[in-house]
Structure 1
Amino acid sequence: MEYTSLPGLNKRVSRIGLGTWVIGGWMWGGSEEKEAIAAIEAAVDAGISFLDTAPVYGFGRAEEIVGKALRRIGRDRVVLATKAGLEWNDQEEIRRNSSPERLRKEIDGSLRRLGVDSIDLYQIHWPDARVPIEATAQALLSFQAEGKIRALGVSNYSPSQMEAWRKVAPLHTDQPPYNLFERGIERDLLPYCRANGIGVVTYGVLCRGLLTGKFSADHSFAEGDLRRIDPKFQGDAFRRYLAAVDDFRPLAQAHGCTLAQFAARWALQQPGISVVLWGARRPTQILEGAKISPSPLSDRDLGEIDRILKRRIPEPIGPEFMAPAL
């Protein structure tokens, strides 16, 4: 297991972190609590010390499951990250709300569900155009002063939005989507974070499972599954992405790893990446992520990856479809 430091924290963290969106079950076909707790325990026993969750993952369920697992494994064994800034109604319709009033409600709810006194890294899940970024940043500063959080982070923020934040408060991390198929952050976000000492924790390294190599063109996703609305998983686009995945197989085999491990290894060695989140709801899934080789891919490998992408995916589809309503 590789470890690194994140700004604002005095603990070293594993470079593979456990992402718990799938543990919440919502938009992923559900999850089984006993198995999810076992997955968290297996992750920590394998050396994964970074756990990332959010209230919206299962509308509180993921945080509750993480809290139950923490009582079994011990709070001091993990660096705990969660998020805020989204709200929902009884119809499970999501919208952004980063007002100080909403955040005050969320921090107390997260602490209760997680069963902890403080959160190591507290992140704003999505920028909210209706609320001044400075007001949101000030709210997190107040939580820090109260001892409820340690480090301040954001997710899905642009460089200009991070710049506005940094005028009034420190910014320790940003959490954007990033994987072999979704590389938009390389243009400006990664250079900005490197230049300003901001840690980058990425999500979606397996591109909603596409980079596991487990799907075929005729695969059918259940009602409510996120991939039913992901344009990458539709029609000709799905076939093009699957063809690229097939082209990656010999490269992964040459390194003695699975396709998923190959995709994560690629992300880990990109300049500026601190932590890569690996989503799992069963022990076997997270143990695959814990066994990623520390040996980097060669320049030849990286060049071949870029050639495959250029040939198979001349017009990449981004992750914008995931953005919640304003």
Structure 2
Amino acid sequence: MEYRTFPGTDLDISVIVFGSWANGGWLPEARENAIGAIRAAWQAGVTTIDTAPLYGLGDAESIVGEAIACLPRDSLRILTKFGLRWDGTAGTLFRTVARQNGRPADIVHNATRESVFTECEASLKRLKTDYIDLYQIHWPDDSTPMDETFEALQRLIEQGKVRYAGVSNYSAGQMAEAGKSMRIVSNQIHYSMLSRGLEKQTVKYCMDHDMAVLAYRPLESGLLTGTLKPGTVFPDGDFRRNNAKFSDENIRRTGEFIRLLKPLAEDKKISIAQLVLRWTAQRPGITGVLAGAMNAAQAVENARAGDIRLSDKEMGYIDSILPPP
């Protein structure tokens, strides 16, 4: 496994980060599989876990807490988020999701001072830890002054409950504004072979200002694994069901690109998914790559991408066949 340190800090992470967004364990077997996946990832060298209260409406954080309870805390880097709530608090609507019982839950933006403190305490309890390595605002909250949010975050750092502050889904301008209040060490963004539009401004800003970049959804929710075929029917509740990105036409088009990747993957004796993860990790400015896993086998396969290296020639070949960003 390769490890990297955030610029100007002592926060070191595994280049492959366990992303727990899919691990809401409302079913007993799903919970057991998620716990097993996290522990298998750790055994394979993945020291870093990214989660959020929003995932499973608190359940994903609880699963992480249970999974790491038997692991040395100083061997782990726990990343979580704040700013999106579902518990009836005031705020501006982000989206509506289904609860475990099928009833709708309104998710709202709320990054007020009081809410930041409240969310942090709840996350610490669910995660069964007394500190968070990286605390990230999940999405920009236009209804709360930035200085209020980040002054509260600075207070958490002073209290020792948070080591470093990060943002997620922030533009270059928003990062500059947030940076007026405190040191922001990272930005977590949607970035993949098919979604490279943030390179010129957002990633560049991070590189110019010594900030880490964490790439989420690098496999585009399965689209870049090579396993989806035209005619795939997604179940009710799956966001891909009526998403144009997962239409038969786009799956077919992406499949043509994947066919161009296959000879390189076969030559290196790795999977398409591992090749995609490694390419993402070697892109300029990218510090860590989030990869989700539903079971231990998937977690280990993802972790192995941290052992792979692509030569300049191999990176150049992939770059030459990339679809338009």
User: TM-score w.r.t. structure 2 length?
Assistant: 0.90
1:184 deviates by: 1.3
Residues 129-166 of structure 1 deviation map (CA, whole Å, 9 limit, x = unaligned): 11122221111011111111010000000010000011
1:212 aligned counterpart, secondary structure: coil
Q: Which residue of 2 aligns with 1:127?
A: 140
Kindly indicate whether residue 167 of structure 2 is the aligned counterpart of residue 169 of structure 1.
no
Q: Which residue of 1 aligns with 2:100?
A: none
**Of 114, 117, 120, which aligns to 2:130?**
117
Q: Which residue of 2 aligns with 1:182?
A: 195
Letter in 2 for 1:13: I
Residues 172-215 of structure 1 deviation map (CA, whole Å, 9 limit, x = unaligned): 11100111111112111111111111011111111111111111
Kindly indicate whether residue 5 of structure 2 is the aligned counterpart of residue 5 of structure 1.
yes
Cα 1:80–1:266 change in 2 (3 A) is same
Kindly indicate whether residue 245 of structure 2 is the aligned counterpart of residue 247 of structure 1.
no
Structure 1 residue ranges without an equivalent (≥5) = 317-326
**Of 210, 235, 239, which aligns to 1:197?**
210
Q: Which residue of 2 aligns with 1:32?
A: 30
2:39 aligned counterpart, secondary structure: helix
Q: Which residue of 2 aligns with 1:214?
A: 227
**Of 204, 216, 237, which aligns to 2:250?**
237
1:6 deviates by: 1.9
Letter in 2 for 1:118: Y
Tell me, in whole angstroms, the C-alpha distance in 2 between the residues paired with 1:9 and 1:283: 31
**Of 270, 275, 278, which aligns to 2:291?**
278
Tell me, in whole angstroms, the C-alpha distance in 1 between the residues paired with 2:274 and 2:28: 24
Letter in 1 for 2:108: R
Kindly indicate whether residue 64 of structure 2 is the aligned counterpart of residue 66 of structure 1.
yes
Percent of paired sites with the same residue = 41
Cα 1:101–1:31 change in 2 (3 A) is farther
1:24 deviates by: 1.9
**Of 153, 160, 163, which aligns to 2:166?**
153
Tell me, in whole angstroms, the C-alpha distance in 1 between the residues paired with 2:147 and 2:204: 23
Structure 2 residue ranges without an equivalent (≥5) = 88-102
1:34 deviates by: 1.0
Tell me, in whole angstroms, the C-alpha distance in 2 between the residues paired with 1:296 and 1:129: 41
* Aligned structure 1 segments of 4 or more residues deviating by more than 4 angstroms: none
User: TM-score w.r.t. structure 1 length?
Assistant: 0.89
1:292 aligned counterpart, secondary structure: helix
Kindly indicate whether residue 300 of structure 2 is the aligned counterpart of residue 287 of structure 1.
yes
**Of 49, 52, 59, which aligns to 1:51?**
49
State whether residues 52 and 81 of structure 2, in contact with CA within 8 Å, keep that contact through their aligned partners in structure 1.
yes
